[in-house]
């Protein structure tokens, strides 16, 4: 029994030596194959799992890399080595950034470790890796969780409203934008009003968007647009007054003819 166990260890050491040598020479495919053989024979070799996971990510095998990261993290969590577990999740976020669970679990562990600021930062950073239409739901999920930590972060709320708008959830977007409009000013308010205008195509929000330029006078280029908007109203009033002046004499002359 002891001799067979020693043989297994010797074989693992030999494979590990060959894998390290192949890696140092830049033969990543050979190294990955050897590391995989070690993990097949000894799945509990956490050191090898952490060594090969980044290589798998670089080789385009992101899902397999994430499975190794998660296996190691769970082993650390079972042993209540939470600092080591967090380090593994952070590495996973770095090397497989498009894996939603890596960001979510990293943030949840930080909350468990009473690090809400770190969790918030992790969730917001993770959202940046989910910008395509097919990953919009993951971005919304990360920001929604971040909002539970920081309910009134203006930039987060605006980003979340934009995601709702792109996801055909206009009611949720407008609800967030109405809340933001009471809290922000300057360029941020301008972005809020512009998104409200795009969602509703309402003259009211057009006026409110234009008014954000008039408040701070930050862009004189908007003034000609304001003038053009007001011109028709003034022109209509002038036309009405001129029409009235033309009608009055004719009405007086009509009365004289009747008399």
The stretch 205-216 carries a mean pLDDT of 86
pLDDT at 113: 97
- The residue count for the chain: 259
CB atoms within 10 A of CB 8: 12
Identify the residue whose tokens are 């001129």.
242
pLDDT at 138: 98
- pTM here? 0.79
CA angle, 63 as apex, 108 and 33 as ends, to 5°? 130
CA distance 80 to 69: 16
Q: Is the distance from CB of 193 to CB of 181 less than 8 angstroms?
A: yes
pLDDT of 23 above 50: yes
The stretch 94-123 carries a mean pLDDT of 97
Domain boundaries, the chain: 17-96, 168-241
Architecture label for domain 17-96: Alpha Horseshoe (1.25)
CB atoms within 10 A of CB 19: 24
Q: Is the distance from CB of 119 to CB of 111 less than 8 angstroms?
A: yes
The stretch 111-125 carries a mean pLDDT of 97
Banded pLDDT at 97 (limits 50, 70, 90): very high
Q: Is the distance from CB of 142 to CB of 104 less than 8 angstroms?
A: yes
């Amino acid at each position: 029994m002891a001799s067979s166990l020693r043989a297994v260890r010797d074989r693992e050491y030999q494979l590990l030596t060959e894998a390290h040598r192949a890696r140092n020479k830049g033969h990543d495919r050979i190294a990955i194959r050897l590391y995989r053989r070690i993990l097949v024979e000894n799945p509990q070799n956490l050191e090898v799992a952490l060594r090969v996971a980044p290589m798998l990510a670089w080789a385009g095998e992101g899902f397999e890399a994430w499975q190794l990261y998660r296996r190691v993290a769970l082993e650390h969590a079972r042993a209540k080595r939470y600092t080591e577990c967090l380090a593994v999740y952070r590495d996973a976020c770095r090397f497989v950034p498009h894996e939603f669970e890596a960001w979510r679990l990293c943030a949840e562990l930080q909350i468990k470790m009473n690090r809400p600021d770190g969790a918030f930062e992790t969730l917001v950073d993770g959202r940046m890796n989910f910008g395509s239409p097919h990953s919009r739901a993951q971005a919304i999920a990360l920001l929604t969780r971040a909002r539970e930590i920081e309910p009134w972060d203006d930039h987060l709320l605006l980003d979340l409203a934009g995601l709702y708008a792109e996801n055909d959830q206009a009611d949720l977007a407008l609800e967030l934008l109405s809340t933001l409009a009471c809290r922000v000013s300057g360029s941020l308010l301008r972005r809020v009003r512009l998104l409200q205008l795009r969602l509703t195509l309402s003259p009211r929000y057009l006026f409110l968007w234009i008014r954000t330029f008039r408040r701070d006078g930050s862009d004189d280029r908007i003034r000609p647009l304001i003038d053009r908007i007001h011109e028709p109203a003034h022109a209509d009033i002038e036309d009405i007054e001129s029409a009235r002046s033309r009608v009055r004499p004719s009405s007086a002359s009509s009365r004289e003819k009747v008399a």
